[in-house]
Amino acid sequence: MIEINAITKSFNHTKVLENISFHLDEGKVLGILGPNGSGKTTLLKILALVLKPDQGAYTIKGDDAFKASQKFRSMIGYVPQDVALFDELSVMDNLIYWSRPGGNHNKGKYHKLLEIFEIDQYSRKKVFILSGGMKRRLNLAVALLNEPKILIMDEPMVGVDILQLKHLQEHLEYLATTGITQIVTSHNASAVINIVDQILLLYDGKMRYFQEKSEFLALCNHNFGNLDETILKLIYLKGE
């Protein structure tokens, strides 16, 4: 469904992404892992059609995503790392504002989304009173408003507690069963390892590793199941 080939991006003559390539089938979940500053956010902005690369190709269902950006933007739900909400509006008004222009405001649908993310009791409250974790869950609800076929999430697990994390993981797993293709970044492998099908490891703007999760977990077994140690070894070996 999604294929990128040799994506490269620079800012102020500094390369932040270099020759990134991968393929992701429909309904699959890709986890992009790497430390802060590795290029994850820039890559997601390109995949969400917010940025254009300097070089490389990006296709969705075989079509050039940049040439048909208007068509594909309606298929993409994007959850940025920085929460994109209006603090002075209520939770419900944020959903109404971010709905597709000209669409019917189905408050039943909005309440269902809020129930899924366990914030329905705050529907009339202004966003500024919400905790960081609640804001992130509302941000994800906003991304799902228009029933995207592709869901792109930048560090959605940050700021959520253990119980919220479990519920969020369960919902993302459910979305995959409905055929929604997902791409999620994290600097914490343990937060996303249960929900992904493939692992892509970025470091210093370069792709150090890309494999099925089963292959990655097999490597982890050689490191006594330690996810972080495995990632560090992959970064070190690939950086040689």
CA 35 to chain centre: 15
**What are the domain boundaries of the chain?**
1-75+151-159+180-240
pLDDT at residue 188, rounded to an integer: 86
pLDDT at residue 238, rounded to an integer: 56
Cα separation, 180 vs 54, whole angstroms: 28
pLDDT at residue 240, rounded to an integer: 45
Instruction: Return the CATH fold of 1-75+151-159+180-240.
Output: Rossmann fold (3.40.50)
Asked if 53 and 7 touch (Cβ cutoff 8 Å), the reply is yes
Burial string for 5-21 (b: 16+ CB within 10 Å, else e) reads eebebeeeeeebbbebe
Cα separation, 217 vs 22, whole angstroms: 19
pLDDT at residue 6, rounded to an integer: 98
pLDDT at residue 157, rounded to an integer: 85
- Could you tell me where the beta strands, DSSP code E, fall in 107-196? 150-154, 181-186
How would you class 158 by CB atoms within 10 Å of its CB: exposed for 0-12, middle for 13-18, buried for 19 or more? middle
Going residue by residue through the chain (240 aa), what tens digit of pLDDT does each one get? 999 999 999 999 999 999 999 999 999 999 999 988 999 999 999 999 999 999 999 999 999 999 999 999 989 999 998 888 999 999 999 999 988 665 566 788 899 889 988 899 999 999 999 988 889 889 999 999 888 999 999 998 887 788 878 888 888 898 899 999 999 999 889 889 999 999 999 999 999 999 999 999 998 988 767 898 899 888 876 554
Q: Which amino acid makes up residue 184?
A: V
> Which backbone phi and psi does 127 adopt, to 5 degrees?
-60, -30
